[in-house]
A and B are shown apart, each in its own frame.
Chain A
């Protein structure tokens, strides 16, 4: 991604403007680096970071969101998702300052097969950043209620219930939620009472100034319920989060970048590294979207996040794989 392609009016000197952001949205499916510095989350494209040299203050925290790898998918929309996943990792490895850790927001595999998880793990070994935190997508829990996923990907965290957990990094409180299990006929994604009770208790002791990052596979805001792009009981979760000054919600599932700000809560969905999906309502169904081969990589990508203390605005920029 060329910076000059999307930064057209930089009123807030944060390397992003509305038109540029909308252009980023149109690419659908990349990666974003998130950084925490002094209490504020900002995000930049990998290209921007590479150009700037990415000098971080010691208190800064940068991490990277990657999503919807769908290892095992081999249909027309992308016949080699393993290769595009590898390219995404190459982009991470090329960053001058590697992110502290990765967050994978689900759909590691296409069909929850052990060999698909194996392939993912093997390719991931090539990533310079070793620390990865996961939440499952519906494709990771297809036939066993998520047992295989939990056995593999929750070793480093103290997971509860069907796999939710929280941890702290550089003063930021991170919460990984599961909203792809025990779904009800006619409904959307679901957190369930047990997880919501845990969330309320988890947040109870935290000061309102604590920056919060929540990540889950299906969007925790209602993007497009006709396609199941939402979580039925997310309002209860967001109610517990209202008192906090800075809340960032990172989701995957819809294979395109969308962002919404509601009070102190910023919602962001990431691109896929596997294949794009159509914008809400623009196709008969949300199935994999076939695009011309030369366009594919522009619609896949990563999200990087930089958290800088003392800054109160959040900028989100995603980078594609072209």
Chain B
């Protein structure tokens, strides 16, 4: 049984993350954030999760950011992690991956939207 820690973050934090992302991209080092921690971001745009499949290592954080003018949610198909509340434009949701495995998730508002997280040891 896997457990995740789920938490909605504030827009201000998101803005900082966007700036950090931009800086890191310029450095050509977009895989590593502050303190060497890997950044795993899934962008929601045009009613799609991008990338549709994300592979992370156990212990890493995963953050979804909604770029649509429409609210979306992040819900585990197997109820393996706490679901997000409805994310409005530019709001984000972060979980920490704990146990290795493959996890399907979807948007409960627009169930056609699905994605996969692969957690490695």
Query: Residues on A close to B: CB < 8 A?
Result: 75-77, 110-112, 138-139, 142-143, 183-188, 225-228, 284-288
Contact = CB atoms under 8 A, between A and B. Distances in A.
Given A142-B86, A143-B85, A285-B46, A75 B114 contact: no
A76 B69 contact: yes
Contacts of A284: 46
B46 A111 contact: no
B71 A110 contact: yes
Contact of A226 (B46, B68, B106, B112): B112
A183 B113 CA distance: 12
Interface in B43-69: 46-48, 68-69
A312 B77 CA distance: 47
Contacts of A184: 111
Count class of interface residues, chain B? 20 to 34
A185 B111 CA distance: 5
A226 B48 CA distance: 12
Q: Is the interface of B mostly helix, strand, loop or mixed?
A: loop
Nearest to B104: A185
A111 B69 contact: no
Contact of A228 (B48, B77, B111): B111
Given A77-B69, A186-B111, A287-B70, 17 more contacts: A75-B69, A111-B71, A138-B110, A142-B85, A143-B85, A183-B111, A185-B75, A185-B77, A185-B104, A185-B114, A186-B112, A225-B112, A227-B47, A227-B112, A286-B47, A287-B68, A288-B70
Given A77-B69, A287-B46, A288-B70, A111 B112 contact: no
Contacts of B70: 287-288
A275 to B, nearest CB: 9
The main secondary structure of chain A at its interface with chain B is loop
Contacts of A225: 112
Contacts of B110: 138, 228
B112 A228 contact: yes
Residue in A110, A143, A185 with the greatest tally of chain B CB atoms within 10 Å:
A185
B13 interface: no
A185 B46 contact: no
A84 B71 CA distance: 21
B89 interface: yes
B114 A186 contact: yes
18 contacts: A75-B69, A77-B69, A138-B110, A142-B71, A143-B85, A184-B111, A185-B75, A185-B104, A185-B105, A185-B111, A186-B106, A186-B111, A186-B112, A227-B47, A228-B112, A284-B46, A287-B68, A288-B69
Q: Which 8 residue pairs of A and B lie closest in terms of their CB atoms, listed nearest first?
A: A185-B106, A285-B46, A142-B86, A285-B47, A183-B111, A75-B69, A284-B46, A228-B112
A142 B104 contact: no
A185 B107 CA distance: 7
A73 B71 CA distance: 10
B86 A143 contact: yes
Given A143-B85, A143-B86, A286-B47, A188 B112 contact: yes
Interface in B74-121: 75, 77, 85-86, 88-89, 104-106, 108-112, 114
Contacts of A227: 47, 112
Nearest to A180: B109
A142 B86 CA distance: 6
